Each structure stands twice: as structure tokens, then as C-alpha cells.
Amino acid sequence: MRETLQRIGLREVDLVRECDAAFKQGSRFDGWVNGSSEDRYYHPFSLPQGYGDADLVGGWLQGHADRPFAECVSPQPHLCNAHLAPKQVSTPEFAAVANYGYHFDAVKIGVLLRKHAVATLGVRHILDHVTLVRSHDNGDIAALQTRTHGDIAGDLFIDCSGMPSLLLGQHYGIALQSQQHVLFNDSALALQAPYADGHVPLASATISTAHAQGWTWDIGLPTRRGVGLVYSSAHTSLDAATTALHQHIQRSGWAAELPTPRHIRFTPGYRERFWHRNCVAVGLSAGFIEPLEASALALVELSVAMIRDELPANRADMDLVAKRFNDAFSYRWARIIDFLKLHYALSQRQDSDYWREHRLPQSQPERLQELLQLWKHRAPYRNDLFRIEEVFPAASYQYVLYGMGFKPDLAHAQPAQRMRSERLAQAQASLHSAAIITKRQLGGLPRHRDLIEHIRMHGMHGMPP
């Protein structure tokens, strides 16, 4: 998203000021392993120090297995624990000391993007209701009929109509492939909770907490928290889910009466195809699964990038591009589902059928089961997730696997013994340098809330205010 915003000429300072944005350095998972009070691990955005060269997992197991993997290989969990920002006041916009994305107000970013697109990028924005789809004889979409602006004709139609999937789903009848047999969640409750006071530390990771009924997200914006519970309606009633959400928020010190949460229902899954004839679905119209690793906007980014890079020169090429697009995104959706399921498959929680059923082999994708078997004797590496721009690379699998307490036996791992000892020596050097960088960054980075307030008041380094 940083790259996209920079490419389209949006200023980071405007994102911070107009969308109540804050910096996100990864996700923290509380209670996912067994629900005990010490049960906590991070999936940070930065790659492990020395990733790809050193046998980091071997090095960690050899001398540091008593400490969490992510905390040994990355400074970021320490920065998040200390509520520090991923950059300094003097770091230029979009540049990072530690890799980051954003938390922001989803309504406000829509307004900012629209304003920028119309004022700067030459986009013509028409606000209207689509009431009918008109077709050419060959089945392509010819135009969209609107309530007050008449017909809008086009060569290519991007379906951004959200879950109704107006063009791809409703008009073309491209079915949603449900993934509920793998990922059971089909409901969410969401609310906004103000801070007790304006000075509480500002989190720079999404906090996902596991409960018997599902899991909660807790996202800190400078002005408020966004909190919600994701659950399976087959396992938990709306009343039980509401109680669980309220209890979770009250445990974090909230005393006043809470607003009624917004109730969202969804079928977890993705379309059989995403690009059909001259219509391509992007966003929720293409599919939706629980927001456990916040992958939806990453998929929007990747979809838009591929449409931009491969925009067909003519109608005949479009079918070929559509095929390539469908292959790429079917692969991506399947990998995201594998990755989300990993969080459940390794959990040892016993407090509900929901968790126990998540571990049943028949609920686990075959590819994930095969990889889990291989990873008993070696760490995930590049060739396990080998495509360019994997949404979750092998490093992400390492963070979750070892965060969830998975301990491999590397005694018989390749490569040959001599190379292994070299890579283990490299690993010890990488772990040492991660510790030094951590110390330096803990001493040199500002508090997250202070940086956000500074940007809101004074702008960013080297930029007009």
C-alpha cells in the first residue's frame, strides 16, 4: 500500500491526518496456542534477520529455543511491545526503519482516494445506483444502466460492488466456492471503542485474541480502537458472541456502556473465476474470508497491479489475460486459505468444539497437510511458496509455525552436514545482529503515539506542512 500511495501521488501526511491512520508493524496473536496468560506471539512484517542465507530455525533451536522465534530473529516484536513507531521523525515519507503498513479509518480512506483520483488523476466519478446490466450479442457487458445518469458504456468493467458481486456473481452467475468446511467463520460483530484517555500508548500491531467462541481483532487508531469478534454461527449464537465481545473489551479496562455492535454475515469463499468475458471482480465481489491476516486489501492491490500491467491490447487478447488472471488469483486465494488454516490447525485449545473441529484432518487442505508433514523435518523455505509476490511467503509460515509452538526435528535435514554447520554459524551471526539492531532501534525510535501526533501537527520530514 505504501508503494501504491506513493505511485499515485498521495502524501503520507494526508493519510495520517485525513484517515486517522497509524502504522502497523504486524499482528500479535494472543491465546491461540492454549489460551494461557503467557500465550502470545508475533507475526511481524519484516523478514527475519539473515532470512534465506542462514539456517535461522536451526540456530534458534540450537541455542535460543526458550525464547519466541520472532523475538530472536526480528526487532519488530520488541518495538511493538514498547509501543514504538517503525520510523523516526526525520525518516522521509513512505520510507521505513522497520517495515510497516497502516491501520486507518476505512470510510475516510474512501473519501481521500476519491478526492485525489478526481482532482489529480483525471478520474470521472459518477455517484449513482446501477440498476441493470446491458449485454452485447456476444455476451460481453455493453453498459450499466444507472438510476439518474443513464447508461454508462465501456470496454472493460471492474466489479467493485462488494459482497453482492453485481456483475460477476449476479449477472454472469459465477458461483462463490464456499470454504466454510475449512474456515468455519461466517459472522462478525464490529464496534468502535473510544480510548479511556488520549494518552494511552498506541498499538502498532493488530491484536488478535482467541476465545472459545472465535477470535477478536483490536486495531488502534490514534482517535479510537476498532474492535470486533469473528465467529462461526454453527458453533456460537449471536447472543453468546455479543457477550464474548463485550467481556473482551471490558477486560481491557473499558467501563462505560458499549455501543451495539454491527453484525456482518458472510460466506467464506471465493469465485470460481474472477475475470469473465470483459468483467473482472476486485475486492469483496471476488470473495471474502475472515480478516485474520488482513489479506483482503493486499489482494485488491495485487489485482489492480495485474490489471494495470496486463491490460489487454484488444478483445481477443482479453480472454488470454483473463485466463492468466484467474490462474494467478485462484492460486493466491488457495494459499491464503492454507495460511489462515495453519493458525487453527496448530492450536491446542480445548475449550470448545469450534477449536477441536478445526484440528480434524478432514477440515485441512491437502497441500497444507503435506507441507506440515515435511516441516516436521525442515523449515519452510522459498521453494514451498515459490511464486513472485506470494501474499504470505515462507517467512510468514515460519513466524506462525514456531509462534504456535511447532518444534521440528532438524537432525536429518538437508543440506549436507558441512554446509549445515556453515549455515548454523551464519544463523548465530544473524541472531546476534538481530539483537544489536533491536537494541539500537529500541533506543532510537519514538513512541508511536508521539510520532503520529507530530505528523498530524507538523507534517513529515522535508515536506510542506
Ligand X SMILES: Cc1cc2nc3c(=O)[nH]c(=O)nc-3n(C[C@H](O)[C@H](O)[C@H](O)COP(=O)(O)OP(=O)(O)OC[C@H]3O[C@@H](n4cnc5c(N)ncnc54)[C@H](O)[C@@H]3O)c2cc1C
Residues at the contact surface with ligand X, assessed by CB under 6 A: 106, 129-130, 160-162, 164, 166, 188, 190, 228, 264, 283-285, 291, 294, 296-297, 300
**Which whole-number Å values give the CA distances from 436 to 49, 74, 424, 443, in the listed order?**
11, 10, 19, 11
Whole-number minimum distance, CB 124 to ligand X, in Å?
Answer: 15
The residue among 114 and 382 lying less far from ligand X, judged by its C-beta, is 114
Dihedral angle at the C-alpha atoms of 376, 381, 386, 391, nearest 10 degrees? 90
Q: Which residue number, 106 or 463, has a Cβ lying nearer to ligand X? A: 106
Residue 89 · residue 454 · CB < 8 Å: yes
Cβ 105 to ligand X shortest distance, Å: 12
Smaller CB distance to ligand X: residue 106 or 175? Answer: 106
Q: How far is the CB of 1 from ligand X (least distance, A)?
A: 9
What gap in Å lies between CA 337 and CA 353, rounded to an integer? 20
* Cβ nearer to ligand X, comparing 168 with 322: 168
Q: How far is the CB of 66 from ligand X (least distance, A)?
A: 33
CB of 225 to ligand X, least distance (A): 13
Give the Cα separation of 462 and 139 in Å (integer): 53
CA distances for 452 relative to 81, 260, 266, 367, 457, angstroms: 17, 29, 34, 42, 9
CB distance 242 to 188 below 8 Å: no
Q: How far is the CB of 4 from ligand X (least distance, A)?
A: 13
- Interacting residues of 423 by C-beta distance below 8 A, sequence separation 6+: 53, 54, 55, 58, 415
CB-wise, 130 or 429, nearer to ligand X? Answer: 130
* Residue 42: strand pairing partners: 28
Please, what is the Cα angle at 193 between 192 and 197, to 5 degrees? 145
Minimum CB distance to ligand X smaller for 49 or for 165: 165
Q: Give the residue carrying C-alpha cell 534477520.
A: 49
Please say which residue, 144 or 379, places its beta carbon nearer to ligand X: 144
Count the neighbouring beta carbons within 10 Å of the beta carbon of residue 350: 10
Could you tell me if 298 and 391 are in contact, meaning their C-beta atoms sit under 8 angstroms apart?
Answer: yes
- In the complex, what is the shortest distance from the CB of residue 19 to ligand X, in angstroms, rounded to a whole number? 13
Q: Provide the β-strand partners of residue 319.
A: none
Which is closer to ligand X, CB of 301 or CB of 384?
301
Q: How far is the CB of 206 from ligand X (least distance, A)?
A: 7
Residue 253 in grid coordinates: 479496562
- Of residues 179 and 438, the one with the C-beta less far from ligand X: 179
**CB closer to ligand X, 161 vs 352:** 161
Minimum CB distance to ligand X, residue 170 (Å): 9
- Closer Cβ to ligand X, 96 or 297, answer by number: 297
Answer yes or no: are the C-beta atoms of 182 and 363 closer than 8 Å.
yes
Least distance in angstroms from the C-beta of 262 to ligand X: 8
Supply the minimum distance, in Å, between the C-beta of residue 217 and ligand X: 7
Question: Minimal CB distance to ligand X: which residue?
Answer: 283
